[in-house]
Amino acid sequence: MSFVDVVEVGGAHVAPEQMLRTHHRYYWAEQYCRGKDVLEVGCGSGIGLPFLKDIAGRLEAGDYSSEVLDICRQRYGDIVPLKQFSAEAMPYGDATFDVILLFEAIYYIPDVKKFIAECRRVLRVGGVVLIVTANNKLFDFTPSPYSTCYLNVTDFAREFGNAGFAVECFGFISVNDVSLRQKVLRPVKALASRLNLIPKSMGGKEWLKKLFFGSLVAMPDAVRPGAVPYDPPVRLPLDRDDSEYKTLYCAARLLG
């Protein structure tokens, strides 16, 4: 396997919920990114870059995987400067950006403290780190291949708070609001995960998505405004971890 097997690519068959989640995180980021100097770390295939390009004052991006970055370059290399780099060692000067995005990728970073230190270095005072990640406290949670560790609410509050950031966390898609089909099949998914029966690649997971969600849709090549409805994520208390929402959002603002 390679990171290409786990990255979201336009044209892939995905559950409608996955398309919603992909769009929603960039819609959420808009309020922080509009008119700002923005860096997307772990940009993957670049599915969010056209959307960010239209709202940011300046946009740069990169990814750890050369194979993934090649896909991104073929699609968006002519509109956004792209570099290959590790999130623990960003090839940018001090106080260069206002916003750093890391969507569905923090669990691949071996040393989160190094990443946070790099964010502190590369951000200007008042700048913000935006992170979106899967919720590892759900009972049917399945870790991604290559993942090292997952952060929940108290982890974000502690790690970023100790580094001089003001932290806010939010949740999106409550497990209480999903379809009856998903509710009935969640124990099946949990058992399959414990028995290591969940496919590792995006393609291999397609049959599982059909089982849980029914019909699939084609992921668009790029996030587009208004493609899905937007409801703001729900603010979460920082003194306890969350086990209700499928996706966790963190906004960590660098203090002076």
Q: What is the 3-state secondary structure (H, E, C) of 172-203?
A: EEEHHHCCHHHHHHHHHHHHHHHCCCCCCCCC
SS3 call for 34? coil
**Angle formed at CA 205 by CA 109 and CA 135, multiple of 5 degrees:** 45
The answer to whether the beta carbons of residues 107 and 87 sit under 8 Å apart is no
Longest dimension (CA), the chain: 51
Query: Mean pLDDT, to the nearest integer, of 208-225?
Result: 79
**pLDDT at res. 181:** 74
Range with lowest mean pLDDT among 8-12, 74-78, 190-194: 190-194
Q: How far apart are CA 75 and CA 69, in angstroms?
A: 10
**pLDDT at res. 72:** 95
Of 31 and 197, which is predicted with more confidence? 31
Q: Scanning the structure block, which residue is given the tokens 């669990």? A: 107
**Angle formed at CA 25 by CA 181 and CA 121, multiple of 5 degrees:** 140
Domain range 3-174+216-254, its CATH number among 3.40.50.300, 3.40.50.720, 3.40.30.10, 3.40.50.150 = 3.40.50.150
Which letter does DSSP use for residue 115 in this model? H
**pLDDT at res. 137:** 96
Structure tokens at 190: 């949990």
**pLDDT at res. 198:** 65
Helices (H), 37-133: 49-55, 66-76, 112-122
Confidence at 83, pLDDT banded by 50, 70, 90: very high
**pLDDT at res. 202:** 59
Domain residue ranges in the chain: 3-174+216-254
The answer to whether the beta carbons of residues 51 and 73 sit under 8 Å apart is no
Q: How far apart are CA 58 and CA 66, in angstroms?
A: 23
Q: How far apart are CA 226 and CA 220, in angstroms?
A: 13
Encode pLDDT of 143-189 as tens digits.
888 899 999 999 999 999 999 999 999 999 999 997 777 777 777 66
Q: How far apart are CA 42 and CA 64, in angstroms?
A: 7
Q: How far apart are CA 37 and CA 87, in angstroms?
A: 17
Of 200 and 173, which is predicted with more confidence? 173
Of 49 and 202, which is predicted with more confidence? 49
**pLDDT at res. 210:** 63
Q: How far apart are CA 161 and CA 154, in angstroms?
A: 10
Confidence at 7, pLDDT banded by 50, 70, 90: confident
Query: Mean pLDDT, to the nearest integer, of 226-246?
Result: 97
**pLDDT at res. 182:** 74
Confidence at 209, pLDDT banded by 50, 70, 90: low
Encode pLDDT of 17-56 as tens digits.
899 999 999 999 999 999 999 999 999 999 999 999 999 9
247: β partners: 134, 172
Q: How far apart are CA 52 and CA 103, in angstroms?
A: 13
**Angle formed at CA 48 by CA 174 and CA 46, multiple of 5 degrees:** 125
Of 20 and 205, which is predicted with more confidence? 20
What backbone torsions phi and psi does residue 62 show, to the nearest 5 degrees? -170, 175
Q: How many residues does the chain have?
A: 256
- Does the structure show a pLDDT above 60 at 1? no
